[in-house]
């Protein structure tokens, strides 16, 4: 470790070389390399954390750039984890950076989290948040919670030294239609920057023992009024009595997506006016496609969205129905009024009809 590099924080009398050494020996897992994860990763990496694991299965999109400030325009379409690791490595070559190019799931959560001292929940959905909570409680790991709604943020440290957990505040996971996420509700670019930096600060405190950890307290931040408020809460001991993860956390997207069966699409194809968008790759499209399909590969969707007439229903198709669903999710972020319909099962169910149309 280069002593000169961290001199401005090691000369702090309440921090010192000892806390710096503790940071260097620490392993932190950041779940989500988005609005919250970027400031957490950037600062922990700059400050000299020893090991940073990054979990995210997403790729960079144009609508991320206003808040996910590690990414630039040339990164669009690339894996967030890969881009983040490249940039963090340039920022601090002594950090050990470990990539998990996947979302956290019931299958991988315990294995991935087990190696780390601390988890930062920088995810953007309830299923992941409840999964992080339950996995951390099972493994006895503290985790730093941060979440956003509009101009507001929440921060707390859960499961720290036998302290309260996420379920002590919010026992039950909200259903898919209860609380909108950033994609549906919007977020001002700088707000996750503030909330994520508060999480980074708590991570440093937990790891070094410096200061008072935000455990048993929920910090509420309101960006519009610049108000910070702490709410005290206690452990509900039952929430520590978890023996295993739930068999499934609801990973369905929180936005409702209309869909039709391929048989219904066949009927629609008889009509001349149907607007069908094929989001497969150019190679797949050249292989075979429906004559009435307009081709916009998923990776070019945002740049070429003006080719879609949002004034009438638009049907989306891919090979199996997964990427077309993703395409609709992306477009719903940009235009929630449009009627966007997924073709379930995709081209796999339509091969027999390709010759005909």
Partner 1 sequence: MEVLLFGIAKDIVGSTQMDLSEWKHPPSSVGELKDFLCSSFPEFGKLSSLAVAVNSEYAQDAVILEAGDEIAIIPPVSGG
Nearer to partner 1, 225 or 306 (CB): 225
Could you identify the residue written with the tokens 């957490």?
Answer: 40
Q: Identify the residue among 25, 66, 228, 233 touching partner 1 (CB under 8 A).
A: 233
CB of 58 to partner 1, least distance (A): 11
Binding flag, residue 123, partner 1 (CB under 8 A): yes
- What is the 3-class SS of 43-111, one letter each residue? HHHHHCCCEEEEECCCECCHHHCCCCCCCCHHHCCCEHHHHHHHHHHHHCCCCEEEEECCCCCCCCHHH
CB of 151 to partner 1, least distance (A): 10
Binding flag, residue 163, partner 1 (CB under 8 A): no
Could you identify the residue written with the tokens 């620490």?
Answer: 26
Binding flag, residue 175, partner 1 (CB under 8 A): yes
| Contact of 220 with 229, CB cutoff 8 Å | yes
Binding flag, residue 279, partner 1 (CB under 8 A): no
Binding flag, residue 237, partner 1 (CB under 8 A): no
Which one of the spans 13-21, 105-113, 179-187, 290-298 is the region binding partner 1 (CB under 8 A)? 179-187
Tokens of 79: 């894996």
Binding flag, residue 172, partner 1 (CB under 8 A): yes
Binding flag, residue 189, partner 1 (CB under 8 A): no
Give, as one character, the DSSP assignment of residue 280: S
What number of chain residues touch partner 1 (CB under 8 A)?
Answer: 46
Binding flag, residue 150, partner 1 (CB under 8 A): yes
C-alpha 138/C-alpha 111 separation (Å) is 12
Binding flag, residue 336, partner 1 (CB under 8 A): no
- What strands, in cross-sheet order, belong to the sheet with 258-260? 258-260, 340-343, 314-317, 276-278, 293-295
Give residues with Cβ within 8 angstroms of 356, minimum separation 6: none
Please, what's the b/e burial string for 89-122 (b: 16 or more CB within 10 A of its CB; e: otherwise)?
eeebeebebbbbbebbbbeebbebbeebbbbbbb
Which one of the spans 45-53, 94-102, 152-160, 294-302 is the region binding partner 1 (CB under 8 A)? 152-160
3 state SS of 99: strand
Which one of the spans 171-179, 262-270, 288-296, 306-314 is the region binding partner 1 (CB under 8 A)? 171-179
C-alpha 303/C-alpha 239 separation (Å) is 46
Q: For the beta carbon of residue 216, count every other beta carbon within 10 angstroms.
A: 19
Binding flag, residue 57, partner 1 (CB under 8 A): no
Which one of the spans 174-182, 266-274, 278-286, 338-346 is the region binding partner 1 (CB under 8 A)? 174-182
Which one of the spans 18-26, 32-40, 261-269, 347-355 is the region binding partner 1 (CB under 8 A)? 32-40
Binding flag, residue 77, partner 1 (CB under 8 A): no
Which parts of this chain interact with partner 1 (CB under 8 A)? 32, 34-37, 122-126, 129, 146-150, 152-154, 169-175, 177-182, 185, 187, 192, 218, 220, 222, 225, 229-234, 254
């Amino acid at each position: 470790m280069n002593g000169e590099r961290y001199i401005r924080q090691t000369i702090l009398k309440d921090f010192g070389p000892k806390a710096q050494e503790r940071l260097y020996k620490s392993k932190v897992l950041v779940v989500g390399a988005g609005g919250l994860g970027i400031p957490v990763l950037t600062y922990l990496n700059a400050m000299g954390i020893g090991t940073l694991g990054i979990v995210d299965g997403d790729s960079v999109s144009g609508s991320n750039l206003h808040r996910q400030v590690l990414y630039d325009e040339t990164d669009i379409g690339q894996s967030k984890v890969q881009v983040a690791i490249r940039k963090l490595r340039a920022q601090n070559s002594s950090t050990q950076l470990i990539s998990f190019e996947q979302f956290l799931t019931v299958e991988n959560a315990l294995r991935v989290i087990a190696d780390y001292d601390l988890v930062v929940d920088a995810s953007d959905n309830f299923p992941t948040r409840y999964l992080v909570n339950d996995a951390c409680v099972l493994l006895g790991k503290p985790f730093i919670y941060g979440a956003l709604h509009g101009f507001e943020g929440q921060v707390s440290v859960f499961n720290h030294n036998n302290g309260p957990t996420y379920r002590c505040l919010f026992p039950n996971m909200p259903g898919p239609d209860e609380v909108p996420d950033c994609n549906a509700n919007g977020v001002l670019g700088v707000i996750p920057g503030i909330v994520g930096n508060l999480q980074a600060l708590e991570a440093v405190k937990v790891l070094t023992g410096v200061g008072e950890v935000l455990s048993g307290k929920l910090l509420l931040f309101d960006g519009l009024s610049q108000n910070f408020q702490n709410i005290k809460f206690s452990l509900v001991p039952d929430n520590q009595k978890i023996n295993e993860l739930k068999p499934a956390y609801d990973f369905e997207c929180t936005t409702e997506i209309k869909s039709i069966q391929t048989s219904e699409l066949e009927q629609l194809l008889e009509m001349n006016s149907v607007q069908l968008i094929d989001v497969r790759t150019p190679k797949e499209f050249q292989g075979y496609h429906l004559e009435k399909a307009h081709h916009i590969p998923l990776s070019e969707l945002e740049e070429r969205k003006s080719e879609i007439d949002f004034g009438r229903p638009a049907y989306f198709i891919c090979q199996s129905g997964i990427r077309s669903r993703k395409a609709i999710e992306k477009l719903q972020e940009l235009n929630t009024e449009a009627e966007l319909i997924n073709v379930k099962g995709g081209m796999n169910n339509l091969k027999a009809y390709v010759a005909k149309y």
